[in-house]
């Protein structure tokens, strides 16, 4: 799974320290992403660029006409292909919170937010707050600011883990440990900085993560982000979007990850996408 922060030396050390009790009982993870994305406008149907295989690009999605505000990046904001900011960037930070707290499936998911800025084709909340609760009195929050930077000023993305004896902040570039009074106790930096809010996200973290994947194939090295962990973190993001669309708290079976007794989800919100007829797997 491409959650490259699981390959960060500083994050790996932070998780080890948390497991060793450096902040006592870790009970809360705060994940956030902050950017100031411009309007994507109202798309117009145009000819497909000569360099783009539009049929293959759409993959299993039912076919739609090409518009001038979809490719190469804005597809994230269309429900037909994308999953919004929570699943575009929140995937990474929410995953690290899960890792730090050692939690599996949530017991409830609540989402607040909406689209507050441009009148354009952007189909997801441009500002969103999601709360996940867990057995054992733990919680994770996700704050997504797609349009309008978080104030007071913060880095573009990050994680804060709260414990009974201290607090840890994590980014793709560093790990800081604070006591409960806010005093910096420990800091560990990555050897070099990685992309955070650009559209590529490159840097040493990505290189180390890909090396770990290849070493898993070549040498049997333990994967930093096994797919079963990625599947759980991915489901969190889908549940955040579903809670937003339902407009109410979703109650989850912590053993299976399935939504309990919600007629809105069952009747009006699709849990699995519709496939193009030529991509349906027949067994």
* Ramachandran angles phi, psi of 24, nearest 5°: 75, -140
Strand order in the sheet with 174-178: 184-189, 174-178, 167-170, 157-163, 26-34, 138-145, 127-134, 108-114, 250-251
The domain segmentation of the chain, as residue ranges, is: 4-41+82-268
More confident residue, 20 or 194: 20
Residue 13 has pLDDT above 80, yes or no: yes
**Which pairing describes strands 167-170 and 174-178: parallel, antiparallel, or unpaired?**
antiparallel
CA distances to 29, 52, 97, 178, 181 from 25, rounded to whole Å, are 12, 51, 14, 14, 17
91: tokens are 């995937």
Judging by beta carbons within 10 Å of its beta carbon (0-12, 13-18, 19+), is residue 200 exposed, middle or buried? Answer: exposed
Instruction: Band the pLDDT of 273: cuts 50, 70, 90.
Output: confident
d(Cα 21, Cα 238) in Å, to the nearest integer? 31
In angstroms, what is the C-alpha Rg of the chain? 20
Return all residues near 31 (Cβ < 8 A) that are at least 6 apart.
90, 93, 94, 96, 97, 140, 141, 142, 143, 158, 159
**For 195-226, what is each residue's pLDDT tens digit?**
655 666 667 888 999 999 999 999 999 999 99
CA distance linking residue 23 with residue 185, whole number of Å: 11
Distance CA 251, CA 260 (A): 6
- 72 contacts 92 by C-beta, under 8 angstroms: no
> 28 falls in which pLDDT band (50, 70, 90)?
very high
Q: Which residue in the block uniquely carries the two structure tokens 């597809």? A: 75
Average pLDDT over residues 44-48: 98
Give the closest residue to 90 by CA, choosing from 80, 104, 101, 76: 76
Q: What is the pLDDT of residues 143-197, one digit of tens each?
A: 999 999 999 988 889 999 999 999 999 998 999 999 999 999 999 999 887 765 5
| Superfamily name with CATH number, domain 4-41+82-268 | Dihydrodipicolinate Reductase; domain 2 (3.30.360.10)
Mean pLDDT of the chain: 93
Q: What is the pLDDT of residues 54-90, one digit of tens each?
A: 999 999 999 999 999 999 999 999 999 999 999 999 9
Six-digit token pair at 215? 């070493």
The reported pLDDT for the residue numbered 56 is 95
* Chain mean position to CA 99: 13
pLDDT of res. 197: 53
The percent helix, strand, coil of the chain (3-state, each to 5) is 30, 20, 50
How do residues 89-134 score in pLDDT, each as one tens digit?
A: 999 999 999 999 999 999 999 999 999 999 999 999 999 999 999 9
Res 40: pLDDT: 98
Residue 47 has pLDDT above 80, yes or no: yes
Answer yes or no: is pLDDT of 41 > 70: yes
Residue 191 pLDDT: 85
What's the length of the chain? Answer: 283
Instruction: Compute the distance between CA of residue 98 and CA of residue 3 in angstroms, rounded to an integer.
Output: 12
Q: What is the pLDDT of residue 202?
A: 63
- The pLDDT assigned to 154 comes to 87
């Amino acid at each position: 799974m491409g959650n490259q922060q699981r390959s960060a030396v500083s994050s790996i050390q932070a998780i080890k320290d948390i497991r060793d009790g450096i902040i006592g009982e870790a009970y809360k993870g705060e994940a956030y992403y902050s950017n100031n994305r411009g309007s994507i406008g109202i798309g117009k149907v145009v000819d497909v660029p000569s360099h783009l295989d539009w049929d293959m690009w759409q993959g299993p999605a039912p076919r739609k006409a090409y518009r001038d505000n979809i490719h190469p990046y804005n597809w994230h904001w269309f429900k037909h292909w994308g999953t919004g900011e929570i699943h575009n960037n929140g995937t990474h930070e929410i995953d690290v919170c899960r890792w730090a707290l050692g939690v599996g499936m949530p017991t409830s998911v609540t989402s607040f937010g909406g689209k507050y800025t441009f009148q354009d084709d952007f189909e997801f909340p441009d500002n969103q707050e999601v709360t996940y609760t867990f057995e054992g009195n733990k919680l994770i929050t996700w704050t997504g600011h797609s349009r309008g930077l978080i104030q007071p000023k913060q880095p573009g993305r990050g994680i804060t883990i709260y414990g009974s004896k201290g607090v840890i902040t994590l980014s793709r570039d560093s790990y800081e440990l604070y006591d409960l009074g806010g005093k910096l106790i420990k800091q560990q930096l990555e050897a070099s900085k990685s992309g955070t809010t650009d559209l590529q996200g490159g840097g040493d973290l990505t290189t180390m993560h890909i090396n770990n994947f290849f070493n898993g194939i070549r040498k049997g090295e333990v994967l930093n982000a096994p797919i079963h962990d990625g599947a759980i973190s991915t489901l969190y993001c889908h549940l955040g979007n579903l809670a937003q669309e339902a407009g109410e708290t979703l109650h989850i079976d912590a053993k299976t990850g399935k939504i309990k007794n919600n007629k809105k989800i069952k009747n009006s919100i699709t849990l699995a996408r519709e496939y193009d007829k030529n991509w349906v797997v027949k067994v």
